[in-house]
Structure 1
Amino acid sequence: MEIFKSEKIYDFMGKRIPFLGVSAVLIIASIFLLATKGLNFGIDFAGGTIVQVKYEQKAPIDKIREVLKDTEYKGSSITEFGTPQEVVIRITGSSSNLKNDISDTMHKLLDPTGSFEIRRVDMVGPKVGGELREKGIMALSLALIVILIYVSFRFEWRFAVASILALAHDITIAMGAISLFSVEVNLDILAAILTILGYSLNDTIIVFDRIREGIQTSKETELNSVVNESVSRTLSRTTLTSLTTFFVVVTLFAFGGEIIHGFAFTMLVGIIVGTYSSIFIAASFLVQLKFSIASFREKEAEKLKRKKEKEKIRAMYEKGTV
């Protein structure tokens, strides 16, 4: 199935400066948000306690705040969770005594607010939260390093740098959106970010593979022409893959419930930004890095020459002439 005509070549590189300008604005805005507003770390990374409560009637949020204001849980964040009958109470820091069952304490404190049941209690100490945050950053850093090595080995160092820049572009904008909408950052969000890395890299590698193939088979000497042709040839595939994934994640976002809302939102942003960067940004970085077709073809010709020489020597050895 083709959305775009395979024989039509679109001038992506002719408009790369406006696209890079849009990306620059988004990245600057994202960094500004991260520096000023920051991230809304959940209990996985900040430590604390989450209590999920379901009422038989509409949850009396104001009454819950009134009940808790004179206790050790004053200042807790109380928000609706999925339905008007459910609320989540987020208590910053850890419980004063993790050996005590906070569920029993909450039952006693919230008893005057109506008929309810406590459906979930999650507690993470601040030390564990700090360790999880450090390991999350380490996982993200290691993923980028491994990707850099892999792409350098498979392609050429400029391809590797371009792919890392494209991935950094995607992650920064996704983190900016998370900060803008105050999405709670927990292990699910970290999983979404790592998934975005793999998804975006897969699209970028396909585009780069087509560019390399175009360089080897085409007689074009201008990189812009080869990139335009290669990206145009993969446009239908990239669009179809992205739309398929997008519709699945939209379904999760709309009907998956509050628990995976943050994960689905991050994935939605990542799919949109990742598709945009694969088509308009990754190859633009390659052009900006002054990739040389002539130099690449010389290196490939030298590799082919060495390969043929080795095959010739092996054949002579097998015949006993060496």
Structure 2
Amino acid sequence: MQLFSKTDIDFISYRKIAYGISLVLVIAGVVSLLFRGLNYGIDFKGGTEVVLRFEQEIAVGDVRQVLRDAGVSGSIKSYGTERSILVQTDFEGDVNQLRTLVSNALNDRFSENPHELLRIDAVGPSIASDLKWAALKALLGAVIAILLYVGIRFEFRFAAASIVAIFHDVFIVLGLFSLLGGVFDVMPLDINQSIIAAFLTIAGYSINDTVVVYDRIRENIRSQKSADYPKIFNTSLNQTLSRTIITSGTTFLTVLVLFIFAGPAIRGFSFAILIGIVVGTYSSIFIAAPVVLDWQLRSKKPIRLRGSN
């Protein structure tokens, strides 16, 4: 299926502008990570998470004051609706003790507005540390696997450029999580295991799109027998543009439905995927392939062809 019958967009001529935009976004993300940091969920920092739902709308500030007076400190914010509250606390004690403390304090103060405790989860500090290291190893393993796969299928400069594009995508999404993490109470942007899964999904989605472009570049180099690499790269990007937009667009719409209707439990995950699709599509066109081209133009070494499969 072709969305466009034929396009002749000079993507390569815009690559330096794209590099500048990407550099600004990545630097902004890194600066935010250094100064603001990330909001970690209980998966990675330990603690207890409680989700409450009231029969009627309730002010978060009132709930926060009541729980703090009862000795429950930490992050207390809206959770998707005006009736749901998320409590993240470092409460030292038994989970049942915390459950009783929260319920008694809220029943005493909001007797006219009954509440229901939907969920209570607790993670110890040692388990949180293990989960954090396991997540880092998963991300590192994915990067190494992609580097080996693309390096074997194409050549090293293609593999290196694809890793640059993946880091570009992940750092931009991470930067947004850092910048927006404390802004939207209705959309928790905590880094937890589901967000790590989102980053792995972003990496896989990005490399899939990038490999399609790389395949077309290799086919055009083989068929044209020409050393005019800028023209070949531009032609390849235009030939794969319909496929890229259709694939990204359908996936984006599906995840957008999840983001809007699936509720706060996976809103952070779906937000990361939404941004990752947009950034990953952009990097496949303006980062991954152009970096290979600039590498070739500087080294002046012809691109070696390998098997088509």
Give the TM-score normalised by the residue count of structure 1. Answer: 0.87
1:131-280 counterparts in 2 under 5 A?
A: 131-182=130-181, 183-280=189-286
Identity %: 42
Q: Distance in 2 between matches of 1:294 and 1:82?
A: 55
Q: Distance in 2 between matches of 1:177 and 1:60?
A: 27
- Per-residue CA deviations over 1:119-146 (Å, capped at 9, x if unaligned) read 1101111111111111111110111011
> Is residue 255–residue 273 contact of structure 2 (8 Å, CA) maintained in 1?
yes
Aligned to 2:303: 296
Q: Distance in 2 between matches of 1:116 and 1:22?
A: 48
Aligned to 2:64: 65
Q: Rg: which structure is higher?
A: 1
Query: 4+ residue stretches of structure 1 with deviation over 3 A?
Result: 98-101, 291-297
In the TM superposition, what is the alpha-carbon distance from 1:293 to its structure 2 partner? 8.2
Q: Which runs of 5+ in 1 are unaligned?
A: 304-322
Q: Distance in 2 between matches of 1:173 and 1:160?
A: 20
**Secondary structure class of the residue paired with 2:216:** helix
Q: Distance in 1 between matches of 2:301 and 2:72?
A: 68
Aligned to 1:4: 4
Aligned to 2:105: 109
**Secondary structure class of the residue paired with 1:121:** strand
In the TM superposition, what is the alpha-carbon distance from 1:179 to its structure 2 partner? 1.0
In the TM superposition, what is the alpha-carbon distance from 1:86 to its structure 2 partner? 1.2
Q: Which runs of 5+ in 2 are unaligned?
A: 182-188
Equivalent pairs counted in the alignment come to 296
**Secondary structure class of the residue paired with 1:54:** strand
Give the TM-score normalised by the residue count of structure 2. Answer: 0.91
**Secondary structure class of the residue paired with 1:185:** coil
**Secondary structure class of the residue paired with 2:240:** helix
Amino acid at match of 1:107: S
> Is residue 296–residue 303 contact of structure 2 (8 Å, CA) maintained in 1?
no
Q: Distance in 2 between matches of 1:295 and 1:285?
A: 15
Deviates most, 222-231 or 55-64: 55-64
Q: Distance in 2 between matches of 1:111 and 1:264?
A: 34
Q: Distance in 1 between matches of 2:266 and 2:282?
A: 24
Amino acid at match of 1:2: Q
User: Is 1:281–2:290 an aligned residue pair?
Assistant: no
Give the superposed CA RMSD: 1.8
Aligned to 1:50: 49
Amino acid at match of 1:266: A
- Per-residue CA deviations over 1:273-313 (Å, capped at 9, x if unaligned) read 0000111111111012126786335x76xx9xxxxxxxxxx
